[in-house]
Amino acid sequence: MQIFIGADHRGVELENSIYEHLKKEGFDVYKSKLINSNDDDYPDFAFDVCKNVLKDKENLGILICGNGIGISIAANKVKNIRCARIVSEEDAHHAKNHNGANVIAFGGIPSQEAIKIVDTFIETPVATEERHLRRIQKIIDYENGAYNGL
């Protein structure tokens, strides 16, 4: 598993804290190679991280912007990405274990809280319960134009 992390200019400090924490814990983690500036655009970081997450189904992504909303919307435009904007450890658990999220997004969270959220996301097992798998599959099928259940 590789972990990819990216942030616009409003999330650089938090990105650095999380990156250092994950490196210290021994994770294979990569920061977006895009350059930050005061007028950078969060969709670019979302697309860069997501394209790398898609290289292997075990990969995970972490996105940070001012509040996590815009960057999560951009990430969810990438086919096969399921990004959840989260604000708590419980959100991180449910995003991965119930909803099949492979990317999380947030912003405006203190560093120590963000690290706990990231740790929870990484440590949470993927969905295995039939009801969750069924729902995730409906999302995948809809994205591929194959869901006609409505």
Catalytic option among 21, 65, 83, 132: 65
Q: Which amino acid is at 82?
A: R
83 is catalytic: no
Query: Which secondary structure element, helix H or strand E, spans residue 103, and what is its range?
Result: strand 103-106
DSSP helix/strand/coil, 106 = strand
- 50 is an active site residue: no
- 21, 93, 98, 132: the active-site residue: 98
**Order of strands, edge to edge, in the sheet holding 2-7?**
28-31, 2-7, 60-64, 103-106, 83-85
3 state DSSP class of 120:
helix
Backbone φ and ψ of 85, nearest 5°: -85, 120
CB 1 within 8 A of CB 57: no
d(CA 144, CA 41): 28
Q: Which residues are catalytic?
A: 65, 98
